[in-house]
Structure 1
């Protein structure tokens, strides 16, 4: 009995009783993945208005194609446009060689041919209202542009003729009248004439001096059709924060490209650039530019136009409200189109256009 009592009364080993009971380690966080259904539902309400497509140039190299059944030789076809929730495309003109005006005319002719060939999937649009009407009828609206400035042949008359044929955006960089030192007098006249016509001024690749002059001269908002944030990636076409802030303050629009060299190799890199542009320029100044079919590498997960729901899902996970997403996908492009049209109507009330065709 004494032995039993001694055993019960024996002191505990040093530190045995004064240690707290161990707590189980918390479970590792469960990674969340974007809900694809949520992204698709949003895109059904607010489809993508893609600011730069190279499909036209890609089709020119193919002996035969079928965009309705699906075409593996390109990154854009009707099934993938529907899967990606794309409601509008700006079809870029690619100018190369010694006959830029002829090349532009041939490509505009091809646009009309392709749209006529697929009337159940595509519809040519020349205004914001025609773009919205195409969407309402279940078609993807096709707007012509941007075209390099050399397509105008340094002629206001040629610029007017291209607009009459449907061209709706012109990229100013790479000309003698829009260079590192800014716009000369002819360049300013080009911008004023674009305002009068309702054509969008594209500042992608333009010098800071040119951009500043456009903001001063133009009565309509300017756009960047394929520029990401230079603060995150130093590609020469990307925009510094100063330009982004000025673009937002003037009502302009930066269309962030799905291009690995301009953003980065992953889908989240594109989302980072969208976050940055929204922060600097505001939610009303950010949009999307696929740059599909331009012979450029795309971030993983955005290899073709069907990848847009994954990007929208990523932004939903980051906390973007639907109001901002609606502006990003559709609303901001519609707004700048309408602003350009309003400026054109106001210009017509102020007086008649120049009747000559001044050159540099």
Structure 2
């Protein structure tokens, strides 16, 4: 049956990591690491030097939703009504940011899709209207291009899976419009019981087109199954360590270990609710995640402009150097800081692109439906 494409194209064959890169997907390896700061410098000065070479790729911003209610704003000049305008992003040495397309609770079906499209349209218009400071990006290479041009790269996503309306055609359409991350929660096929057969097909189709799966706020069964099914790295856009601070979106130690084994990426949010009220609390979570998942699997999620309270020393993106200074004081090497701020997001985006390239050679667009697979 055409709907059961996975039986004809086994998922285990998609994006195998032991295959050579195809010529079109060749990735240039990183240059040999060289220190960029003097160990005798003040930690804040060292932090700024490290961030100059390895800027922050911020994994979650609620700015599109925050801008909906403003009659006028100027992000280039500076905007006091939001947390993250261009001047503050530059002071914090942010090189890239993911703009979330937030779905209020209760939005589903056509309403969820409409809300997502409206926010995507707004986000694209905002970037186009602030092109001296912002630049849209869809790939790891475009992040680097934006940085080299002195712009902050903006990636669109995560969006809520409810926007799909159980349609893989809508998934592909949203990807074509620029969406790059989708949160797998709040649907019949990605709920408390885990991924259904159709949910697994959604993950495989996301792999095929290069859409990254976000598992923050997903149920534990959904997380475990997605880690198994996905042949590209997954990420957690807003998840800290539950062992340090109990919160439903934070991850217990066994899942953090599983994320490391799957080479996923846990982006620790800079919020008081999930990480704690001080910069030291946030650093504790980063230490914990790095220890369990590994230095390749931890990143940063500012979670600014979401209405969340932030640690006192991290009130807006301009404060990122304070967090990096705290990590340097704790003995983090510059190489590990570079992975935390920039390198790990690059890895996930490059791996998603490579997996998509190889999957598209073996698997046509899926025509599966939730009715055919889940009854």
What TM-score, normalized by structure 1, do the two folds share? 0.89
2:44 to 36, 46, 66: 36
1:355 is displaced (CA, Å) by: 4.1
The 2-side partners of 1:289 and 1:351 are apart by: 33
1:256 is displaced (CA, Å) by: 0.2
Instruction: Give 1:205's aligned residue.
Output: 217
Contact 2:242 2:250 in 1 (8 A): yes
- Root-mean-square deviation (CA, aligned residues, Å) is 1.4
The 1-side partners of 2:183 and 2:304 are apart by: 18
Query: Secondary structure at 1:211's aligned position in 2?
Result: helix
Structure 1 residue ranges without an equivalent (≥5): 1-31
Instruction: Give 1:60's aligned residue.
Output: 68
1:142 to 150, 154, 163: 154
The 1-side partners of 2:41 and 2:287 are apart by: 18
1:33 is displaced (CA, Å) by: 11
Structure 2 residue ranges without an equivalent (≥5): 1-39
| 1:262 maps to 2:274 | yes
2:240 to 228, 239, 264: 228
Instruction: Give 1:80's aligned residue.
Output: 88
1:311 to 320, 323, 331: 323
1:53 is displaced (CA, Å) by: 0.3
1:347 is displaced (CA, Å) by: 0.5
| 1:132 maps to 2:123 | no
1:208 is displaced (CA, Å) by: 1.5
Instruction: Give 2:54's aligned residue.
Output: 46
Query: Secondary structure at 2:338's aligned position in 1?
Result: helix
1:176 is displaced (CA, Å) by: 1.2
Contact 1:131 1:141 in 2 (8 A): yes
Contact 1:253 1:285 in 2 (8 A): yes
Give CA-to-partner distance per residue, 1:77-115, whole Å, 9 cap, x none.
011000000000000001134501011111111111111
Contact 1:157 1:356 in 2 (8 A): no
1:178 to 171, 190, 205: 190
What TM-score, normalized by structure 2, do the two folds share? 0.86
Instruction: Give 1:4's aligned residue.
Output: none
The 2-side partners of 1:351 and 1:86 are apart by: 37
Query: Secondary structure at 1:201's aligned position in 2?
Result: strand
1:293 is displaced (CA, Å) by: 0.3
The 1-side partners of 2:323 and 2:80 are apart by: 22
Instruction: Name which one, 1 or 2, has greater alpha-carbon Rg.
Output: 1
2:203 to 166, 191, 205: 191
Contact 1:156 1:358 in 2 (8 A): no
Q: 1:297 to 1:206 in 2, by over 3 A?
A: same
The 1-side partners of 2:228 and 2:293 are apart by: 18
The 2-side partners of 1:33 and 1:205 are apart by: 40
The 1-side partners of 2:369 and 2:146 are apart by: 35
Instruction: Give 1:215's aligned residue.
Output: 227
Contact 1:267 1:301 in 2 (8 A): yes
Contact 1:173 1:179 in 2 (8 A): yes
Aligned residues: 329
1:357 is displaced (CA, Å) by: 5.5
1:168 to 177, 180, 189: 180
Instruction: Give 1:21's aligned residue.
Output: none
The 2-side partners of 1:225 and 1:78 are apart by: 22
| 1:123 maps to 2:135 | yes
| 1:252 maps to 2:260 | no
Instruction: Give 1:24's aligned residue.
Output: none
Give CA-to-partner distance per residue, 1:87-144, whole Å, 9 cap, x none.
0000000113450101111111111111111111100001111111111111100000
Contact 1:256 1:273 in 2 (8 A): yes
Q: 1:158 to 1:41 in 2, by over 3 A?
A: same
| 1:346 maps to 2:358 | yes
The 1-side partners of 2:92 and 2:278 are apart by: 18
Query: Secondary structure at 2:81's aligned position in 1?
Result: coil
| 1:89 maps to 2:117 | no
Contact 1:222 1:253 in 2 (8 A): yes
The 1-side partners of 2:199 and 2:281 are apart by: 35
